[in-house]
Structure 1
Amino acid sequence: MSIATDRNAAVLALDVDGVLVHPSARFDGGPWDSQIQDELGIEPRALGQRFFKVYWPEIIVGKRDLRETLESVLPELNPDVSVDDFLRYWFVNDARVDEDVAAEVRTWRERTGGRCIAVTNQEKYRVAYLTEEVGLGELFDHIVWSGELGLTKSNLGFYLAAQATVGCDDPRRMWFFDDDEANVAVATEAGWRAHYFVGLPEMRQVLAETYR
């Protein structure tokens, strides 16, 4: 979607993972890699230690390419698993949309005439998957992601850049929900109306009381 040009319009910004998108229901609330040892022969602890802990901080801000990094790491974890197989497993199993939250986003837009954006710590391949395959490109006017900005949501500059991206002049017109309290604190510092996400009922109450 293209971004609206009304600089006075309110903006609803949602975190992606943990608020809108979750691992597959078949994991019973566990992470997407909870069964990866049985299904791909990759030990989750080794995946965390050899890949995510070492390389993810640079991947997430666009300093390393995810696929290129996996080409060198996967042979240590399971040489029989290709990069395509790994990414397919990850992306498919970590893409369950909370349809009730999605419906609230649509309702809010219709009621207020405001814009809706996703803000996420993410790299380009999964952003593309979530946008094109999962449907976030249809749900949101824009997706602001750390790999594009070179900053994560732990940085004040992320929120300043996100606000500039959507063309909102007043930070108090930015309404934000995230399930990470540290991110909420930084967004609040940026002047956003930031709320810790604990569930849809609380989010719905905040939005209903604000825009009647």
Structure 2
Amino acid sequence: MKPAILMVDVDGVVVRPANPLGWSAEIERDLGIPAAALQSRFFQVHWADVIHGRAGLRERLAGVLAEIAPHVSCETLIRYWFHGDAELDANLLTQIATVRATGVAVHLATVQEHERAAWLWNDLGLRDHFDDMHYAADLGASKPSQAFYAAVEQRVGRRGSAIAFVDDSERNVQAARERGWQAALWTSGASLPTLLPALMHPSGEVV
């Protein structure tokens, strides 16, 4: 069945960090923030609340920075983070444009908090390439929870069989398949028509 909507993950698919080791690999050298402390004091403690929309990014980040790096503002760290994790996959965007031009809606389905979601959509310009974005903090659920996929289906008014999906996490792909989505694991340099044959016209054209 040809999908009506193609859902695409963001991090690791459309967007990747400029540093292959991750956006925070050089954060201690660049900003004087101990990476291990940021991980243990912020991400391990607060991230679940932030990513599910139960708390604001700056609300939780400010207190942690005051303890581990009082010389760094939330604004400085957020700018460093967002800009350091914003390298677009131009080849994939070209493929997406081809699919979108045939009338298949192309949406983002991603685990983001509110502020980075808005930055990706508006500042990085993903709104120019996609028709909509569905993200964890807005839905109150994250991948690979079935609640995430169910909420997306409700938003778009489509059953899983009408949705194609690419993600770089096997767990997320498997969860989508369990929901009935036409899901495929994304790897760098992959081809959407190869991964999702339902996007292919019998003549070989992407439709």
Query: Same fold by TM-score, threshold 0.5 exceeded?
Result: yes
1:101 counterpart residue number? 92
Q: Distance in 1 between matches of 2:196 and 2:180?
A: 17
- Partner of residue 137, structure 2: 147
Gaps of 5+ in 1: 1-7
Question: Post-superposition shift, 1:202?
Answer: 4.2
- Mapped partners of 1:171, 1:82: distance in 2: 43
Instruction: Give 1:7-156 correspondences, 5 Å limit.
Output: 10-24=4-18, 27=19, 29-111=20-102, 113-156=103-146
Question: What SS does the corresponding residue of 2:45 show, helix, strand or coil?
Answer: helix
Structure 2 counterpart of 1:150, which letter? G
Query: Helix, strand or coil: the match of 1:119?
Result: strand
Q: What does residue 196 of structure 1 align with?
A: 185
8 Å CA contact 2:52, 2:113 repeated in 1: yes
Local SS of the residue matching 1:194: strand
Describe the superposition over 1:64-116 as per-residue Cα deviations: whole angstroms up to 9, x where unpaired. 111111111101221010010010100111111111111111111113x1100
Structure-2 residue corresponding to 1:174: 163
Give CA-to-partner distance per residue, 1:133-172, whole Å, 9 cap, x none.
101112111100000011001211211111221222x321
Please report how far the alpha carbon of residue 9 of structure 1 lies from its aligned counterpart in structure 2 after TM superposition: 6.3
Once the two structures are superposed, what CA deviation does each residue of 1:44-70 show, in whole Å capped at 9, x if it has no partner? 111111110110011100011111111
Q: Distance in 2 between matches of 1:110 and 1:203?
A: 14
What is the TM-score when the length of structure 1 is the normalising length? 0.90
Could you tell me the TM-score, scaled by structure 2's length?
Answer: 0.92
CA distance in 1, matches of 2:94, 2:156: 22
Q: How many residues align?
A: 200
CA contact (8 A) 1:9 1:115 kept: no
- Cα distance between partner residues in 2 of 1:176 and 1:51: 31
Unaligned stretches of 5+ in structure 2?
202-207
Q: Which amino acid aligns with 2:54?
A: K
SS of the residue 2:52 aligns to = coil
Compute the RMSD of aligned alpha carbons: 1.5
**CA distance in 1: counterparts of 2:99 and 2:162, whole angstroms:** 14
Pair 1:173–1:200, CA change in 2 (3 A): farther
Please give the alpha-carbon distance, in whole angstroms, between the structure 2 residues aligned to 1:16 and 1:198.
Answer: 13
Q: Give the Cα–Cα distance (whole angstroms) in 2 for the partners of residues 173 and 209 of structure 1.
A: 10
Q: 1:134 to 1:177 in 2, by over 3 A?
A: same
The percentage of aligned residue pairs carrying the same residue is: 37
Contact 1:91 1:126 in 2 (8 A): yes
